[in-house]
Amino acid sequence: MENKNINININNNINKNISINSIKTITMPLVPYLGLMLVILIFYITTDGKLFSPYNTRIVVQQATALSIICLGAVFVYSLGELDVSIGACVGICTLLEINIINMGYPLIVGFIAALVLALSFGLINGAFSSWLGLPSIITSLFLMFVGGGVQALITLKSNTITTDYDFTLWKETWFQILMLVIVSLIVAYLFNYTRVGKYTKSIGANKVAASQSGVNVFKYRIIAFLIMGFNVALASIFILSRSASSSKATGGGMHMDVMIALIVGGMPLAGGMKSRFTSALLGAFIYVILTNGLTLSGVGITYVPFVKSIIFIVIVIITGRKKGGILPR
């Protein structure tokens, strides 16, 4: 009889710890949503409502589209626990390819295919070569970043910037951008949450050895992750090109940092793993863009903007970071 009571007491404690954990599991993913709502609310107030003026909504969507699309692709790579710093150079060369092709008179789709081939090659190098050479993918992506940047500079050496007269109005229409965003998000959501692609990449990020011992073909799925990201980069490059109708040696520069910050702000763990969520791409990209936009609109001195952004970044990392170690005392 005594024993039973003792056992019940201890079971209650264990259950309490388990329910605290369930609460944590539910609330943690909500933090980025809260973040977005708070950012919107605060800036709505400080900009006297200008945040939602038709003009501003249009430019926010325009500024966020390309970033969101790339982030959605990057979700797979980041869930592996890896990074890609060659995104910027890839975007730059993609836009260069596209602009040159359409300036020669070919339709945009040809340009897109060329850019796609390039972006997929970048993905292959990062995904496959890194495995074959036994290097972490960050090394291959650094290499690609330098090579890509060099190519960009070389091509644009003669003429500072290459411009085009191509009619990009469709790509600048807000409804089209939202439509593309929705389509890409749905596809990524499906692949990430309802097929083995997302489940496998998350497992690899969480524990590569256990994943491979449970039947996950690590080599294959790393490549798939990078290829998916490559596709998204090529698609996003058209949106980036459409904004300025030109491509220079600086196009795309720094994009990889924007992606990293956006994903982290959106709640993606840097080490990848089971906690990765595709929503962090959308939430993060929009928070990031609205932040810059809102700060400038509210009249924050331009010098303060990077400072404020870095504070927010650190705070969000602290909030969504998990302590190492167990949950129950063992």
Partner 1 sequence: MDNTLQVLLEVTNINKCFGPTVALRDVGIEVRKGEIRGLVGENGSGKSTLASIIAGMQKSDSGEMFFMGKKWEPDSMIGAQIEGISMILQEMNTISGVSVAENLFAGQEKKFSKFGLISKNKMNIAGDNLLKSFGVDHIKASDSIDLYGFEDRKLIEIVRTVTKDTKILVVDETTTALTHSGREFLYKLIEKIANENKAVIFISHDMDEILKVCNVVTVLRDGDIIGNLIKEEMNPKTIRYMMVGREIGDAYYRTDYDTTHDEEIALEFKDAWFSSVSDFNLKLHKGEIIGIGGLSGSGMRDIGRAAFGLTTITSGDIECKGKKIRGCNDAIQRGIAYISKNRDTEALILQGSIADNIALPSIPELTGPALFISPLALRKHAQELTDKFSIKCGNVNQYISTLSGGNKQKVSFAKWIGKGSDIFIMDCPTRGVDIGVKQSMYQLIAQMKKEGKAILMISEELSELIGMCDEIVMIKNDKLSARVKRSKELKEIDLIEYMI
Partner 2 sequence: MKKIISTLIMFCMIFSLTACSKSSKVSSTGEADKATLSDVTIGIVGYSNSGTMYNSYVAFYNQITKATGIKFKFATGSSFDESANVTAVQNLISSGCNGIIMTMDSGMTSIIEEAESANVYVAGYLNSMNQSLSKIKDNKYFLGTVSDGYLDGSKIGQKAAELVIKDNKKNVGVITYPHNYFPTHAQADKGFRVAIDAFNKTAAEKDKITVYDSQQLSFKQLDPTYFKKHPKLDSIFGMALTFVYPTMVSANVQNVKLYATAYDDSDSYVKGFNAGTIGMETCSNVESMIYPVALIANAIKETQFTDKPAVAEAVETNTVFLTNKDEQKSFAAGALFVSSDAKNSLLSDDNIRSLIKATNKDATYGNLVKTMQGWSIEDIKAKQK
Tokens at residue 257, please? 């940092």
The residue whose two tokens read 């980041």 is 78
Two tokens, residue 75? 């979700």
- Beta-carbon contacts of residue 138 (< 8 Å; ≥ 6 apart): 82, 83, 84, 85
CB of 310 to partner 2, least distance (A): 11
Candidate ranges 59-67, 82-90, 202-210, 222-230; the one touching partner 2 (CB under 8 A): 59-67
Of 103, 185, 193, 298, the residue at the interface with partner 2 (CB under 8 A) is 298
Query: Which amino acid is residue 238, in one-letter code?
Result: I
**The pair of three-digit structure tokens given for residue 262, joined into one six-digit string:** 């956006």
Residue 104 makes CB contacts below 8 A (sequence gap 6+) with none
Output 194 or 307, the one with its CB closest to partner 1: 194
Asked if 46 interacts with partner 2 (CB under 8 A), we say: yes
What are the strands, taking DSSP E only, across 210-307?
Answer: 246-248
Contacts to partner 2 from residues 220-249, by CB under 8 A: 240, 243-246, 248-249
Classify residue 208 as exposed, middle or buried by CB count within 10 Å of its CB (0-12, 13-18, 19+): middle
Distances (CA, A) of 164 to 90, 93, 230: 20, 16, 24
With CB under 5 to 8 Å by kind, the binding choice for 44 among partner 2, partner 1, none is none
**CB-based contact 68:265 (threshold 8 Å):** no
Least separation in angstroms between CB 302 and partner 1: 41
Q: Which of 3, 5, 213, 303 binds partner 2 (CB under 8 A)?
A: 303
In the bound state with partner 2, the residue whose beta carbon lies nearer, of 201 and 242, is: 242
By CB under 8 A, name the binding residues for partner 1.
3, 6-7, 9-10, 13, 15-19, 21-22, 25, 191, 194-197, 199-200, 203, 206-207, 209-217, 273-275, 326-330
Smallest distance, partner 1 to C-beta of residue 162, A: 40
Contact 88, 255 (CB under 8 A): yes
Identity of the residue, 28 or 110, whose beta carbon is nearer to partner 1 in the bound complex: 28
* Residues 265-294 close enough to bind partner 2 by CB under 8 A: 292-294
Write out the two tokens for 34: 């809260």
Full DSSP string of 146-184: HHHHHHHHHHTSSSSEEE-----HHHH-HHHHHHHHHHH
268 or 295, CB closer to partner 2? 295
Binding mask 139-168 for partner 2 (x = CB under 8 A): -------------------xxxx-x-x---
List residues binding partner 2 (CB under 8 A).
38, 42-43, 46-47, 50, 53, 55-56, 59, 62-63, 158-161, 163, 165, 240, 243-246, 248-251, 253, 292-304, 308, 311-312, 315, 318-319
